[in-house]
Amino acid sequence: MLRKLLAVLYTALAIGANAALAGDVADLREGDMRKLAIHSAPVDLPEAVFLDARDGEVPLAQWRGQWVVLNFWATWCAPCRKEMPSLLRLQQAMPDLAVLPVATGRNAVEGIERFYEEAGVQALPILRDPKSELARPMGVMGLPVTVVLNPQGQEVARLIGDAEWDSAHAQTVLSAMIAGN
């Protein structure tokens, strides 16, 4: 019960508002980026450790100091299949940004590798959150969900559903966020 309440509260805070940085950046949102909820204040995340393809532990804190696009997805998710190539192209277009797809829930490594091969995204890291230990407390209720993290590792924006992350609109919004930091 408490988990559900926290998830609802977290989602409400995440979807809630556009102020400060949000004001200027919010004005830039066009296309798929209209779905991007920009938070009025950064939201701290719980500590998180992902698993890589070999079951090695990979802490999210490893990317502190840089902007991160953290995408929660699953191998069975049709919108994720459509969206994933745009995440690779975003990573290629904005190499200083870390694009981290995280397969949440039960996703076998073989299935992830097959998904990546079919989608042509082998250059992205394989990261897994098999027990949804980060997704659940962050209120990720459906997939895909993408959150933007500032260099301090805090969530500053969230987009529920798929998007063309390599579009000019997305790159403009992300560049403005980075410049405003």
The CATH fold assigned to 2-180 is: Glutaredoxin (3.40.30)
pLDDT, position 26: 80
Q: What is the DSSP letter of 167?
A: S
Assign 84 a pLDDT band (cuts: 50, 70, 90): very high
Q: Output 181 or 151, whichever has higher pLDDT.
A: 151
pLDDT, position 160: 97
Instruction: End-to-end CA distance of the chain: give it in Å, rounded.
Output: 36
Q: What is the pLDDT of residues 18-46, one digit of tens each?
A: 344 455 888 888 889 999 999 999 999 99
Tokens of 127: 């990261």
24, 37 contact by CB (below 8 A): no
Sketch the domain layout of the chain as residue ranges: 2-180
pLDDT, position 23: 55
Tokens of 32: 């798929």
Mean pLDDT for the stretch of residues 139-149:
97
